[in-house]
Structure 1
Amino acid sequence: MLRLLTASLLATSALAATAAEWQNRTIYQLVTDRFATPDGSGPPCDTGDRKYCGGTWKGIISKLDYIHDLGFDAVWISPVVANLEGNTTDGQAYHGYWTQDINSLNSKFGTADDLKALSAALHNRSMYLMVDVVVNHMVSNSDPPDYSNFTPFSKESNFHPECFITDYTNQTDVEQCWLGDKDVPLADLNTEADDVVSSLNSWIKGLVSDYAIDGLRIDTVKHVRKDFWPGFVSSAGVFTIGEVLHEEPSYLAPYTKVMDSLLDYPAWFTLTAAFKNNTGNLTALATTVWQSQASYLSGELMVGSFLENHDQPRFQSLTQDSSLIKNAMAWPFVQDGIPILSHSSERIGADHHSYPGQEQGYTGGGDPSNREALWYSGYIEDKPLVTHVKILNEARRLAIAANTSFLTTAALLYAVSESTLAVSKPPLLALLTNVGNISTAATTWNVPDAGYPANEVLVDVLTCNKVTADNSGGVLVHATSGEPQVLLPTSALSASGSICSNLAAQGQSSSALRNVVASALPVGIAVALVFFVSQLTFDF
């Protein structure tokens, strides 16, 4: 009892992280019901049943060391409020997105003390808590809904008149018509009404305060009018990252002005297309990045960069080529933005079973197959992609430590072709390719403007192989493996670190590189953007 009370008291204050401080972080996203059970058991969990499987907030606490050991310092959990009870034609509300009562917690996930204990456990590890929230709708299993089941929005006037979205090119329909269908209608809240707005703003302020939440992931952002969001974000008082599901940067650009960050869906569309086979197009990915850098309020620097999430098919349902998988997984860690990894994305190996998942190599397709239970993996850390994720997290940390401008300097893309792409974000240089692991042809990356001091010794942290910059600081690399390469100067490595520590330069300064980054790169970025943007057509 004393332990629980102590945890609750510790959780009464969030770490009060700013958006800039969130940039330093890497985020591990999990589906609460599918991550870990409170007693460590592994009950059956058939994703096709779409039912609760038993994961809880206590279960998450028991596996925080696993997340921390992967190198993540922020955790994004499922929505926490009370959801629709019972069965529907679309299963149960195990995912947390079918809100019925915003003033109560989802008892399937635990108690208020359990959630406070999770917050405290994260903060004790200097980790951040991000909670998913739904503002757009409440959910019923009947049509018309029984509005009396909704708290506090128990009147029909609290909602837009029923009409299901049929035309996604009509923004009024997108914002005021309903998601779902007549079996499970997602009743669209009237966020034009002052009383609804006031209730939502008051609720989010209390939720953040009561559970010491450090950040919010906001669902279905494009389905609510844009000018609603500044007041809601201000009431929350913490970092916010929104979901705007659309493939065009020009569509997302206005939303970058109303909250701190957005999930980088435009890049996700081209990222998956580029790496799902060896005929993908990395030029299309680069073009999307250039468009986003030019049109978003903070360029790509504040986006949430990801390869997988709970709404989209597992990348490993698209390909089983390990080289393509490693290249695609490297992307969020080596470019601008905040890396996000979906639970079990790191799992891969020879022991695929019927619930294969990102660090654990799970291969489920679309919803619900992509929401596998992680306990089937045994949380084993001795797997290729687990190691891959750990190295990528550590490489990003080393780059941040070596260059104070790393997080605020936009990435430059070089050696762009259908099959190659170099991401320059000094002191880190990532060399990516989609030729795959069956290719025997040589792949070449030529980056003459990499910005390194002459003859700087670099290390591919994924293999610990050395590369030496030329007399002008450029980098020319040939390879035949199809594997990604993530280069750092030996001066950026740590002799006490976990990656290539035996190659860490002793007493070598990287101040020359920092000076290049601080002075020359912003000019280069401007020139590059002007050149590339001048060749692009935008539809604002």
Structure 2
Amino acid sequence: MLGSVLAACALAASALAATPAEWQQRSIYQLVTDRFATSDGSSPTCDTEDRIYCGGSWQGVINQLDYIQYMGFDAIWISPIVANLEGSTGDGYSYHGYWTVDQNALNEHFGTASDLNNLATALHDRGMYLMVDIVVNHMAANTLPPDYSTLTPFNAESSFHTFCWVTDYNNQTNVEQCWLGDSNVPLVDCNTEDDGVIDFFHNWVGELRSNYSVDGFRIDTLKHVRKDFWPDFQTAAGVYAVGEVFEGDVNYVAPYTKVLDGVLDYPTYYQLTSAFESTSGSLQNLVNVVQQAQSAYENQLFTVGTFLENQDNPRFQSITTDQGLVKNAMTWPLIADGIPILYYGQEQGYTGSNDPYNREALWLSGYVIEDKPLVHHVRILNAARKAAIATSSSYLSTAVTFPSVGGNTLAVSKYPMLSLLTNVGASGTPAWDVSSGTGYSSGTELIDVLTCTTYTAGSGGSVSVTGSGGNPVILLPTGAFNTTYCSALAGTHSTSSHTVAVTFEVEYDTVYGGQ
């Protein structure tokens, strides 16, 4: 199935390649394929504790693209697509896609090659991008020692590192050459020092890209493979790739930004969660980690993936359901420097904690958009980000600054956007006085896109705002907008007597010509 040569793939990539700069314009909706939507629109029972296939498919994703696009997302990240370990294990079924047994075959639970190509086509017809999750570090077995003959294409022990469990995360050799998993499902660690293994993966990733018109890759367990493997792999991929480095230390993560286009920004994730999980969280610590990463990462934070939730970490609302805190935390990825990622179900208020509870079926929500405050919140934030991109040609290369940091308030400037965040909680009344550093001129008329309330910048561009309900305030110059659709965009938000109408537009620089 994946037997074409790399040269042919490189030729195909010249027509379809999506660069980091093109991905920067996007916002990504991450979904677990098995749990997002069924092909026939049915809503089967899906108990996360069972860890079984529930019936989601690539055709199901196609059926619900209107839902994703309604919220303003223009890229999706789907689960790994290759064939996985079959049957029940002591750790459940491989519905998530991370237990590869055959790199050269598709996971039939999700559909056919035609279905996957149809998904790519449907996305591209809408001007949207497809990101596919991939696993290079390991393959899966259900016995220890493994039966290597069950794995494809590496069916000999010599293609894998000698068995040992990863036990010491302070020992990089142990991290890179020992095995993840457990005795139920040992994750057999690929020998990525072997020339044959290296050549296979270079050809394989290029073929995935060309065969299925993939625009980007998310790479699992990046830190478990030696760093010098990744630059040539990135070249072979031919499109933007973002890697998972599951680590909160900026100094540990930073070297990976030199060998791959981007990383998932876990250091910021940890401080973001801590800052908004309660009214006593430290906003200063969030500022500190962002500034440290801006200095340490190869491209500052411009090409990282910025997120609040994913399939490996507890949902934010399993920690707190205070909607003031929730809305502020959800705001961060869409006003920060990186490429924003929203994990499916966050917009519906899902509350699952750690795996497997954070992998709920979205069809149980009914894909409701009306009277869903977080759906509207995300939709407006996506629109505001697009408006900022359209307004300023340097927006995506402008690093966030922090003109004001108080005990419970934070001002985040990324001109032309000024975001006022708070962790006072839903019962609190935040107030911000930002005397300088906004980038605005005196007298600039501003609009809070979340409420359509207008303000006027004071002397030197200063801004003073009193909020309500612990909600964030997102300011943009009113002159950046057409004045037509504010009330429709803002849904049922209350407005002040100074409301103006706005619409948010952006034209993408995309290889598919979509807007």
Give the secondary structure class of the aligned counterpart of 2:174: helix
Identify the structure with bigger relative contact order (alpha carbons < 8 Å, sequence gap 6+).
2
Out of 389, 396, 407, the residue aligned to residue 396 of structure 2 is: 407
Deviation at 1:504, TM superposition (A): 5.3
Q: 1:482 to 1:57 in 2, by over 3 A?
A: same
* 2:439 is the counterpart of 1:454: no
CA contact (8 A) 1:44 1:53 kept: yes
**Structure 2 equivalent of residue 384 of structure 1:** 373
What TM-score, normalized to structure 1? 0.87
- 2:8 equivalent in structure 1: none
Cα pair distance change 1:500/1:161, threshold 3 Å: closer
C-alpha distance in 2, partners of 1:264/1:392?
20
- Counterpart check, 1:489 vs 2:486: no
Instruction: Count the aligned residue pairs.
Output: 481
Indicate if the aligned counterparts of 1:160 and 1:190 stay in contact, CA closer than 8 A: yes
What secondary structure is seen at the aligned counterpart in 2 of 1:216?
Answer: strand
Give the conservation status (yes or no) of the 8 Å contact 1:280–1:418.
no
What's the offset of the Cα at 1:446? 1.9
Q: C-alpha distance in 1, partners of 2:444/2:402?
A: 20
SS in 2 for 1:114: helix
| Residue pairs, 1:153-232, within 5 angstroms | 153-232=154-233
* % identical aligned pairs: 57
Q: CA deviation at 1:423?
A: 0.7
Residue 205 of structure 1 deviates from its aligned partner by 0.8
* Cα distance in 1, alignment partners of residues 163 and 49 from structure 2: 29
Question: Structure 2 matches for 1:259-408, cutoff 5 A?
Answer: 259-344=260-345, 358-382=346-370, 383-408=372-397
* SS of residue matched to 2:210: helix
Q: What residue number does 1:59 align with? A: 60
Matches within 5 A, 1:228-247: 228-247=229-248
Which residue in 2 is equivalent to 1:475? 463
Contact 2:438–2:461, Cα closer than 8 Å, also in 1: yes
Map of 2:420 onto structure 1: 431
Deviations 1:293-345 (A, max 9, x none): 0000111111111010111101000011000000000000111111100011x
- Greater Cα shift, 456-465 or 23-32: 456-465
Q: What residue identity is the alignment partner of 1:404? A: S
1:517 maps to which residue?
A: none
Query: Is the contact between residue 36 and residue 375 of structure 1 (CA under 8 Å) also seen in structure 2?
Result: yes
* TM-score after normalising by structure 2: 0.91
Q: 1:431 is paired with a residue of what secondary structure?
A: strand
Distance 1:421 1:195 in 2: 52
Partner of 1:535: none
Alignment correspondent of 2:26: 25
**Amino acid across the alignment from 2:442:** A
Partner of 2:249 in structure 1? 248
Give the CA deviation at 1:16: 2.2
SS of corresponding position for 1:415: strand
- 1:475 is displaced (CA, Å) by 1.4
How far apart in 2 are the matches of 1:222 and 1:17?
24
Task: Report the CA distance between 1:480 and its aligned residue.
Answer: 4.5
**Structure 1, residues 485-525: CA drift from partner, whole Å, max 9, x if none?**
0001101122245547962599xxxxxxxxxxxxxxxxxxx
Distance 2:90 2:49 in 1: 12
What secondary structure sits across from 2:474 in the alignment?
Answer: strand
1:145-173 superposed Cα distances (whole Å, 9 cap, x missing partner): 00011100000000000000111010110
1:88 matched residue in structure 2: 89
Please tell me the residue identity of whatever aligns with 1:399: A
Letter in 2 for 1:186: L
- Whether the 8 Å contact between 1:458 and 1:469 is mirrored in structure 2 is yes
Q: Which residues of structure 1 form unaligned runs of 5+?
A: 1-11, 345-357, 507-540
Task: Name which of 435, 444, 451 aligns with 1:463.
Answer: 451
Contact 1:491 1:505 in 2 (8 A): no
Aligned partners of 1:491 and 1:504 also within 8 Å: no
**Distance of 1:306 and 1:236 partners within structure 2:** 23
8 Å CA contact retained: 1:55, 1:109: yes
In structure 1, the partner of 2:496 is: none
Equivalent residues of 2:159, 2:191 under 8 A apart:
yes
C-alpha distance 436-257 of structure 1, shift in aligned 2 (>3 A): same
1:37 shift after superposition: 0.2
Q: 2: distance between equivalents of 1:220 and 1:205?
A: 19
Residue in structure 1 matched with residue 511 of structure 2 by the alignment? none
> CA separation of 1:176/1:329 partners in 2, compared to 1, >3 Å: closer, same or farther?
same
Cα RMSD of the aligned pairs, angstroms, is 1.5
Partner of 2:141: 140
- In the alignment, what sits opposite 2:71? 70
Residue 100 of structure 2 corresponds to residue 99 of structure 1? yes
> Which amino acid in 2 is paired with 1:435?
V
Cα offset for 1:414? 2.2
Residue 167 and residue 123 in structure 1: after superposition, are their counterparts in 2 closer, same or farther (change >3 A)?
same
Q: Residues of 2 paired with 1:505 and 1:486: CA distance?
A: 14
**Residue in 1 that maps onto 2:37:** 36
Query: Which amino acid in structure 1 is aligned with residue 187 of structure 2?
Result: L
- Provide Cα deviations, 1:370-419, integer angstroms capped at 9, x if missing partner: 00000000000010000000000000000111111000111111211342
Amino acid in structure 1 at the alignment position of 2:229? F
Give the C-alpha shift of residue 50 in structure 1.
0.3
**Aligned-residue offset at 1:281:** 0.5
Provide Cα deviations, 1:181-225, integer angstroms capped at 9, x if missing partner: 122100100001111101111111111110000000000000000
**Cα distance in structure 2, aligned partners of 1:494 and 1:94:** 45
Instruction: Give the aligned residue type for 1:467.
Output: Y
Q: Secondary structure at the match of 2:420?
A: strand
Aligned residues of 2:262 and 2:305 also touching (Cα < 8 A):
yes
